[in-house]
Amino acid sequence: MSSVVSHDYLESLLESLPKDSTDALSWLKQLRAEAIDQVGRQKLPTLRDEEWRFTDISPLTKLPYRPSQAAADLRLADIEHLFLEEANNRLVFVDGHYAPQLSNIIDTENLVIGNLSELLSSQASSIQPHLGQYAKFQENIFTAQNTAFLQDGAVIAIARNTSVSAPMHLLFIATQKEVTSYARCLLIGDTGSNVTLIEDFVALQEDAYVTNSVTEISLAANAQAKHYRIQRENNKAFHLANCAVSLAHASRYQSINIALGAHISRFNLDVQITDEAAECSIDGLTLIAGKQLSDTHTNIDHLKPNGTSKQQNKCIIDGAAHAVFNGKIMVRPQAQQTNSSQSSRNLLLSSQAHVDTKPQLEIFADDVKCAHGATVGQLDHEELFYLQSRGLSEDAARNLLTYAFGAEIINRIAITSLRQQLEQIVLNQTQSR
């Protein structure tokens, strides 16, 4: 990794903190220093690494790895079509840099929301216990690199027993070519809080670039969060993302990840159930074609009793595209009475499309209810025949069945405007095959 990222440049980041608050921010400087050290120690993963044996990211080494620069040429009118009408609070990041002129913050009572670099001084006591504590960078070079470049980022902290009715929209926009952008998000839900978070990754240009994203979520006792993650970058992009979630007593976390874009994408989701009676629901939909490669790795770690986890992941693969799903559920010896289920369903639309799927259970407790399964197949010929017998053409029947396969996941999104956008995208992609 040091061959593509200048160590001198990384070291210079340690000097970029405000000079008048060095003592107050010494913890952040130390965090960066530890990440920089890990960047120097680690190497890019290859097909020889077990966790990456289906995902070849060697094309990354052919790209310039310079960080993106802040740009101010985007106007509100350029991105209004990306806004969600239900979202009163919107944070916009252009090539990883916060754009206040494009953002909109309304709710400030019982809620902290804003840019990391601007909140560090006033909210350090809230941010420090969580930032860099869940997304571990000791064995993940991309998380280490993101932490080393830590500057701008979205911070959302919900106060105790506060329910935020309108969703929070984080919009990450790519405009520069052959650069790496570092997206960062920290969500802190205090006891009894409730929030909906949308991470939305889009591109306004068609050239190659890299998005390196890290999200950390901490939910205290009885807190709830819905987390919708939409990746619709261009088909030359590289998207590398890591999300780490910590769940306390009786907290509830719902995640829906939609992967549509990028030439090569990798999404790692790590959920730690750290106390009793916590629940998580994790759903995913991948829709790719051409020569796209989309890799989803999830890990749900049950550390305490009476936890519940449900996961369904679907892939629709066309052309010569390649999808990867590796879902791991760990049930520790002390996590008795765990209830967990996992499903991987995959639809191949061409003879060249392929998928590698590996649902995985590791159970070290004896009083549990756990199940998993995987299916790989093509469109059902009897269903096609039935629709054609009702007057639909073969193409229309195929498109309808393909859309219905993916719509099961999209319909679980509770935000109407976002759901409608995604429905239209899926319809357009199935019809353009």
Least confident range of 105-109, 132-136, 387-391: 105-109
Q: What is the DSSP letter of 68?
A: P
Residue 196 pLDDT > 90, yes or no? yes
Q: Lowest mean pLDDT: which of 6-10, 99-103, 355-359?
A: 6-10
Q: Is 80 exceeded by the pLDDT of residue 228?
A: yes
Give 347-390 as a DSSP string.
EE-SSS-EEEEEEEEEE--SS-EEEEEEEEE---HHHHHHHHHT
Q: Is the pLDDT score of 1 beyond 50?
A: no
Between 175-184, 269-278, 351-360, 377-386, the lowest mean confidence (pLDDT) is in 377-386
H-type helices in 149-233, by residue range? none
234: pLDDT strictly greater than 80: yes
Q: In this predicted structure, what is the pLDDT of residue 2?
A: 39
Mention every residue, 6+ apart, whose C-beta is less than 8 A from residue 124. Answer: 24, 25, 27
The whole-angstrom distance between residue 52's C-alpha and the CA centroid of its chain comes to: 18
| Cα separation, 186 vs 205, whole angstroms | 27
Sign of CA dihedral 347, 47, 10, 176: negative
Q: Where are the domains of the chain?
A: 7-275, 380-433
Strand partners, 302: 273, 331
| In the predicted structure, residue 433 carries a pLDDT above the cut 90 | no
What pTM, to 2 d.p., does this model score? 0.94
Say yes or no to pLDDT of 380 above 90.
Answer: no
Tell me the two tokens of residue 205. Answer: 């240009």
Q: What is the mean pLDDT of residues 325-330?
A: 96
Kindly report the backbone phi and psi dihedral angles of residue 382, in degrees, each rounded to the nearest multiple of 5, phi listed first: -70, -40
% of the chain exceeding 70 in pLDDT: 93
Q: What angle do CA 418, 255, 377 make, to 5 degrees?
A: 90
Q: How far is CA 244 from the centre of its chain?
A: 9
Q: Chain-wide mean pLDDT for the chain? A: 92
**Residue 264 near residue 296, CB atoms below 8 Å:** no
* CB crowding 376-399: b at 16 or more within 10 Å, else e: beeeeeeebeebeeeebeeeebbb
Q: Maximum CA pair distance of the chain?
A: 75
Alpha-carbon gap, residue 314 to 85, rounded angstroms: 28
Mean pLDDT, residues 58-74: 81
Q: CA nearest 251: which of 227, 220, 226?
A: 220
Question: Are the beta carbons of 347 and 315 closer than 8 angstroms?
Answer: yes
- The residue among 274 and 109 whose pLDDT is bigger is 274
Q: How confident is the model at residue 14 (pLDDT cuts 50, 70, 90)?
A: low
Q: Tell me how far apart the alpha carbons of residues 154 and 141 are, in angstroms, rounded to a whole number.
A: 21
Which has the closest alpha carbon to 323: 298, 288, 299?
288
